[in-house]
Amino acid sequence: MVSQALALSRRPHVVVATPGRLADHLRSSSTFSLSKLQFLVLDEADRLLEQGSADFSADLELILGAVPARRQTLLFSATLTGTLCQLRGLAANSPFFWEASAPVRTVEGLEQRYLLVPEALKDAYLVHLVQSFQDQHEDWAIIIFTKTCKDCQVLNMMLRRFSFPSVALHSMLKQKQRFAALAKFKSSIFKILIATDVAARGLDIPAVQVVINHNTPGLPKIYIHRVGRTARAGRKGMAITLVTQYDIHLVHAIEEEIKLQLPEYSVEEQLVLDILTQVNVTRRECEIELEGMDFDEKKEINKRKQMILEGKDPEHEARRRAELSRIRSRNRECRQKLQQSLHRRRQLQLRRKLHRSMERRRRKMEKEKEKEEEEKEEQ
């Protein structure tokens, strides 16, 4: 922070920054000003303007309040989201808009496949794929994308136990550790990078031959960004997505977005079954080892630090979450009681209905019996 503040005090012509860090300097330092800024560029605008797990709205509001009203603002994005379309419609001065026209949202040199696997066998299939690529092409670089930081760390530990040269990259690592991991991967010290979606954007590593999606991305735009890490600068590449029985609809959404039907990647299943037990045991051992490293506790500490940086009280947030949890618990109990009451009412109605039906049947039988007796007496 100090070295950056000194650099900003020299009034540089170009400043490249993340919204959070630039907002921190604006809050804590008065040695520089953005009042004479002429051009404001937002790269990955779809990511910056969306509200989700990473909400940049507070930082962007502070930055936009510090820059002059008379300026040129440029927004760049690989995906056109609803927020960007809405922003375009709200602009008062008819902004210039350009979109690259392409029949397919991914490059021609990218071979895209899917591999349908049972959920319980996903890790075994991943190990088999990595082993196959390493045996055939020892110099190939592979990026494996995972859903969570914990999955990323566990898979990295697991692959290392199988003697694969892998390194992890996720948001739970410190900035120095992230830079070190990227440097080792770029310099081919490690041939396998296991990462969360923190690496899906902005990484320009031309020599990546394979991208493996350990989980099927929930949004097509996330898939596009992930597979965009390979087949760069006119090179060829391959992207394989592991699809479970619960992800079929996600694959259909991806195919509709990229306007391309994904062919299936063939694997000899028996080779996977041969290593299944070993892979499952190794993963469980890695999960136990990770629990001993207080990985989840570190995550909570990072969350608290982030709240403090955002001006929030962690204790108040914890109390608020606890209160919300109690409210959800009460609502759940109320729903259960209501369902039980409705169930009892339905059971009572069914019993009454059955009783009436049996009563009608009994009366009918009695009438038929009386009628038969009358007929006998007449004879």
Domain ranges of the chain: 11-90, 116-309
CB 208, CB 229: distance < 8 Å: yes
The region that residue 311 occupies, defined by phi over 0 for left and psi between -120 and 50 for alpha, beta otherwise, is left
Q: Positive or negative CA dihedral for 29, 35, 36, 38?
A: positive
User: What value does the CA radius of gyration of the chain take, rounded to a whole number of Å?
Assistant: 30
Of the candidates 314, 159, 144, the one whose C-alpha atom is nearest the C-alpha of residue 242 is 144
The confidence score (pLDDT) of residue 102 equals 61
Within a 10 A sphere around the Cβ of 276, how many other Cβ atoms? Answer: 16
Give strand pairing partners of 193: 143, 167
- 10-residue block means of pLDDT along the chain (379 residues)? 86 90 86 88 86 73 90 86 80 80 75 95 97 93 94 96 95 88 93 91 82 94 91 90 95 93 94 96 94 72 67 76 86 88 90 90 87 78
The confidence score (pLDDT) of residue 252 equals 95
- Whether 11-90 shares its CATH topology with 116-309 is answered yes
Q: Does domain 11-90 fall into CATH 3.40.50.300?
A: yes
Within a 10 A sphere around the Cβ of 53, how many other Cβ atoms? Answer: 7
CA dihedral in degrees (258, 198, 195, 210; nearest 10)? Answer: 30
The residue assigned the tokens 């630039």 is 22
Of the candidates 139, 295, 150, the one whose C-alpha atom is nearest the C-alpha of residue 214 is 150
**What is the C-alpha separation between 293 and 65, in angstroms, rounded?**
43
- The class (CATH top level) of 116-309 is alpha beta
**What is the C-alpha separation between 248 and 246, in angstroms, rounded?**
6
The confidence score (pLDDT) of residue 215 equals 95
The confidence score (pLDDT) of residue 51 equals 64
- Find all residues with CB under 8 Å of 240, minimum gap 6, and list them: 113, 114, 115, 129, 210, 211, 212, 213, 265
Residue type, 350: L
Three-state SS annotation for the chain: CHHHHHHHHCCCCCCCCCHHHHHHHHHHCCCCCCCCCCEEEECCHHHHHCCCCCCCHHHHHHHHHHCCCCCEEEECCCCCCHHHHHHHHHCCCCCCCCCCCCCCCCCCCEEEEEEECCHHHHHHHHHHHHHHHHHHCCCCCEEEECCCHHHHHHHHHHHHHCCCCEEEECCCCCHHHHHHHHHHHHCCCCCEEEECHHHCCCCCCCCCCEEEECCCCCCHHHHHHHHCCCCCCCCCEEEEEEECCCCHHHHHHHHHHHCCCCCECCCCHHHHHHHHHHHHHHHHHHHHHHHHCCHHHHHHHHHHHHHHHCCCCHHHHHHHHHHHHHHHHHHHHHHHHHHHHHHHHHHHHHHHHHHHHHHHHHHHHHHHHHHHHHHHHHC
